[in-house]
Structure 1
């Protein structure tokens, strides 16, 4: 019994000692919490430069010219001188329709002309003799009048024969189908041996001019003044991009601004012309475009990755001389080469933070570095 009482007293004394040690002494100051470590960030100075004003649009490639190769006369398609997808030159013979009937019609018209010319020559001689006899009163005026009318009819027949010859020559020429311009042949719908007619709905093939080539695109109507102002300074360059809108594939010139704005969409259509010797563009192809609408001189720019979007708009983080992070609201202009124009907010020389945005808070201590911090760049986060 005595041992149990003694053990209890010992435990009580130990607990009291522990509580006493844990209680802060009124004469001893509390220990300060360790200061948080400075956040390593990459900084880039805002710089002043000339920035091209690039307007983004979306369009589709169109053939510069397009024509459906059709027959203009009836007959058998004797030969097809092209292969599908072939590049042809202006004047190349593409197809031949059986010309025999049309050649025979031409020969007949020529023969008729010869016949009527011979008859006209005979009538003219008769008229000439009758006029001479009439002056000597050996022929009546009625005979002269009849021969005069006969000569006039003969001359009209000759004119009709000449017109018939021109018609026959034209129809015969239609039996040889030639390319009206340089271009590329599409997939053929009619093959040699088939009967073709002038009123057929089906065409033999389609020819498209692909060099030069056109690109029709749209821009917001608010951009129209910029484009028209750029036109006053000279030809306006248009850059066609790949499907990802990252790499340029062709460079051309703005050729046409449509004569009206589409009130439904608030956009306006424009057309650019491109040299296409390397077949970089293809008719019907979707293509993002950039229109070079001038240059903004002495603009303050920062890396596009530094521009963040928050509830109150756009902003950038700036490293202060005291090595603190400062949030600055900005107004931006056009972007080019991964840099964005700052119209308002930042000034030349400001150290703009381009990494670790998600860890920053206004006034937090930072450790600026000249190069980006690997694997910690969170520029896309806000």
Structure 2
């Protein structure tokens, strides 16, 4: 028995090892099968990204400068008394429109009438003295010719006549001054315009050039709007003005939602403001409906020029990034490539491409958030180049406010405020 025991033990061990190996093999097979059933299918590459695209077109684009302006009346006059006295009468209503020469106020004229009477009396006295001196000179002349009087007596009489004549001239000047004072007592409007609120009431004593004056008159129509443009835009304005062009100017309300009036640029300041790098321009408006009110803030749009046959793309197509200004150009194999461009003026809806793109080339307008150079795309909506799309910028720029262009700043657009 003892000789067979090791042999039997080895047989049992061999049998147990085979079972363990078989179990391991089965477990491995089960794991492989489970993995095969649960594994996701391998990706064959990123699917094409769905985008919108549009072809570049040829059209016109207005070059517009958008600035903030102030309504500046042609004339604002503070009516000051030119002599002293009691204000006895006011002949206007506050807020009334007046014409040049219309009566405004009256200063008590009695003292100035008395001064005129005194000057007239002095004139009569000096005139009589002059007549007497001239009569004496006529006699002295005869006697001098006969050598019956001394030469000194004749010369003295000539001087007397000259002195009396000068006194008469002084009296006449005094009378003229008194008459002018009487005119100043009757205060009239120096310009056409609208009077403001009364600054002094009847019964008050006013003095010559006393502040704040009698009333302020402001011209309402026509009127002007004063605004500034940056020095980088001045050259194109000067070029057009020097060529004799009448540049149209449109005024909008403060929130830029309503057109108020249309006018024409007529004056450019002769100096640049060094602190701001701007120059002041002035436009005139008929303002027949008085929609422009003095000192009101308005938004001004100056039409400098209109680019013809310009390459236009939708504004969202123009992006700004590390390459600079660029568009995603659609290739023939349904891929896109980053294409650098030089943008020009914009009206918010469309942007001019000055260089880097030709009419007919298709660019991505929407869905470019995850695009990259060489990415596959699928165009969901492509708009062909049509005449209507090319003419859209001109009409939209005159009726709506400028919009920001995609991710670009507004520095290269027509909005340069």
Selected match of 1:293 from 297, 304, 310: 304
Q: Secondary structure at the match of 1:281?
A: coil
Counterparts of 2:259 and 2:357, CA distance in 1: 31
Matched, 1:269 2:293: no
Aligned equivalent of 1:84: 94
- Between stretches 122-131 and 317-326, larger displacement belongs to 317-326
Aligned pairs for 1:1-382 within 5 A:
22=34, 24=36, 39=50, 41=52, 43-136=53-146, 141-234=151-244, 235-310=246-321, 312-317=323-328, 328-336=339-347, 338-356=349-367, 358=369, 362-368=375-381
The alignment partner of 2:237 has SS state of helix
Deviation readout 1:42-69 (Å, 9 max, x if unpaired): x554321222222233332222122211
**Following TM superposition, by how much is the alpha carbon of 1:72 offset from its aligned partner in structure 2, in angstroms?**
0.5
Q: Deviations over 1:236-289 (max 9, x none)?
A: 333323223354322222233222222222222222222222222222222232
Q: Number of matched residues?
A: 359
Q: Which residue in the other structure is 2:10 paired with? A: none
Retained in 1: the 8 A contact 2:326–2:338?
A: yes
Please give the TM-score of this superposition, normalised by the length of structure 2. Answer: 0.74
- Give the alignment's TM-score, normalised by structure 1: 0.80
SS of corresponding position for 1:192: coil
Change in Cα spacing, 1:250 to 1:32, as seen in structure 2 (3 Å) is same
Larger radius of gyration: 2
* 2:394 aligned residue: none
Superposed CA deviations along residues 188-224 of structure 1, whole A, max 9, x for unmatched, are: 2212221111042221221122322222222111222
Please name the residue that 2:9 is paired with.
none
Aligned to 1:4: none
Q: Deviations over 1:117-171 (max 9, x none)?
A: 2332233223223333444566555554443333222211110011101111111
Note the residue ranges of structure 1 that are not aligned, 5 or more in a row: 1-14, 372-378
- Cα distance in 1, alignment partners of residues 163 and 110 from structure 2: 32
How much does 1:106 deviate? 1.9
Deviation at 1:183, TM superposition (A): 1.4
User: Alpha-carbon deviation of 1:175?
Assistant: 0.9
Q: Distance in 2 between matches of 1:61 and 1:215?
A: 4
Q: For structure 2, which runs of at least 5 residues remain unmatched after alignment?
A: 1-26, 385-404, 409-417
Measure how far apart 1:231 and its partner are.
Answer: 0.9
SS class of match (1:200): coil
Q: In structure 1, how many angstroms separate the alpha carbons of the residues matched to 2:49 and 2:34?
A: 33
CA distance in 1, matches of 2:316, 2:188: 57
CA distance in 1, matches of 2:407, 2:272: 38
Greater shift, 129-138 or 109-118, is seen at 129-138
